[in-house]
Amino acid sequence: MATIFTRIIEGDIPGSFVWRDEHCVAFMSINPMAHGHTLVVPIAEIDHWVDASPELVAHLFAVTHRVAQAQREAFAPERVGVIIAGYEVPHTHIHVIPTDDMGQLSFANARSGIDRDELESAADALRSVLGTDPHGHRRHGSG
């Protein structure tokens, strides 16, 4: 059975995408720890990130780095934190979280939901910096 992330990637469940390439996607968390909390997820269903190939892990972290840089530009947080836990969904995902204090890096503080307009506003800000369209694809002429 497909994971919830695969269902989002395939469009069966709505997602607010900010990045998409042949190996991974990045979309907004619906249970954010902070404004702009984004998940970087490989397209392949790999439960534990250490089971991914070194090449895929490197790519996921390269995309994570780009997303973090975009979050820094769009939201001006003090830091951008990264968490890989893997207990919530059996599909590797990297939490990229703009933070102003260490307390924001706690799943206990994750919101139980978010207004769709607020989610899309954060996604729009990231897409603008990343040069991607609403599906997460790079726009022509974007660096």
CATH number at residue 122: 3.30.428.10
Whether residue 141 has pLDDT greater than 70? no
Split into its structural domains, the chain has a count of 1
* 89 assigned to some structural domain: yes
Tokens at 125, concatenated: 């800000």
Provide mean pLDDT across the span 117-129: 96
Q: Is residue 137 part of a domain?
A: no
Give per-residue pLDDT as tens, 31-78.
Answer: 999 999 999 999 999 999 999 999 999 999 999 999 999 999 999 999
Top pLDDT among 9 and 139 is at: 9
Whether residue 43 contacts residue 134, with contact meaning beta carbons closer than 8 Å, is answered with no
Tens digit of each residue's pLDDT (9 = 90 or more) over 4-21: 999 999 999 999 999 999
Q: 44: domain range? A: 4-130
- The answer to whether residue 141 is domain-embedded is no
Phi, psi angles (nearest 5°) of residue 58: -60, -40
The pTM (predicted TM-score) of the whole model is 0.95
**Residue 71 in domain:** yes
